[in-house]
Amino acid sequence: MSASEPSRPWQTQKHKEILNGESPTAFAQLAELALPHLVHFLQQEFHQAEPHLHETAAIDALLTYHHAPQKYNPDKLTLFAYLRMAARKG
């Protein structure tokens, strides 16, 4: 699994699809790329923490976004940066 971040246009498009309910698979597509990215990020940031905590925080960040996508402002930062910030706080 790759931990790389997709392009900003891709992230913006997925956010629009999720926000507007345009695609029933948009969140799954986002999660497929974002989950390994977030876990890798958390492993680098918090290497002393238990691995399951990285996964839990990453999943929680994704689910929190999914429940309130309107809280994300794409004009301020990329969606993955927003998710990293949420996962770090988790």
> Is there a domain that residue 1 lies in?
no
| Residue-range definition of the domain harbouring residue 56 | 8-89
- The number of folded domains in the chain is 1
2 in a structural domain: no
Q: Compute, in degrees rounded to 10, the torsion defined by CA atoms 90, 17, 1, 71.
A: -10
Q: Does 42 fall in a domain?
A: yes
Residues 6+ apart with CB under 8 A from 80: 5, 6, 11, 34, 37
Q: What angle do CA 63, 17, 90 make, to 5 degrees?
A: 20
73 located within any domain: yes
Q: Helices in 1-90 by DSSP H: which ranges?
A: 8-20, 26-45, 51-67, 79-89
- Could you tell me the pTM of the whole model? 0.92
What is the tens place of the pLDDT at every residue in 51-61? 899 999 999 99
- Share above pLDDT 70 across residues of the chain, in percent, rounded to a whole number: 97
In a domain, 3, yes or no: no
Distance between CA atoms of residues 35 and 45, nearest Å: 15
